[in-house]
Amino acid sequence: MQTPRIAPGRFKELGPINWALWQVLSRGAGVPDAHLFSTLGRTGGLFRGWLHYSGRLMPGGKLSRHDCELVILRVAQLRDCEYEMDHHIRLGKRAGVTPEILERVRQGPSADGWNHKHRALLTAVDAQVTSKDIDDPTWAALAQHYDEHRLIEIVLLISQYDGLATTIKTLRIQRDR
């Protein structure tokens, strides 16, 4: 386990608003200290702007929670981001991601048992995370199942969680125990 590059903040570093947000978000995550929030909370208003944007994607987007969790869990798997995986296994359960589905997410879009929609979704995740693009055939398959709003949202969601995995790994944010 690597040492965090920036220690999680407390009241002095977070300020009253971010400290209160950290407390609420940690309780919601079922942990005493959600290290992601106590670290990013050190940025003041930037943290609140990031929370707003993140919350508009998930859970506030038009994409179903189940599909959101499939995307996020696949990004976490591809990026080997245990922090994201830990949190979204818990959130995924609430959205109907069973242990069997989770195992298929870990295997990827070629695993047996996916319907056409979810295979297209996970293929798009793999493409965007690995190549930073989605090729035309993969896009066409995805577009058979999602409208334009949701297609844009999927791209933004993948980018958000890929970027978040980068942030977590670069700052060496420790898993919540």
DSSP for 25-39 reads HHHHHTSS--HHHHH
> pLDDT tens for residues 109-127?
999 999 999 999 999 999 9
* pTM metric for this prediction: 0.95
Domain 65-171 has CATH 3.40.800.20: no
pLDDT category at 136 given cuts 50, 70, 90 is very high
Whole-angstrom distance, CA of residue 138 vs CA of residue 124: 6
Q: What is the pLDDT of residue 177?
A: 77
Q: Which two tokens stand for residue 13?
A: 């570093």
Residue 177: closest CA among 81, 86, 84:
86
Listed by start position, the domains of the chain span 11-57, 65-171
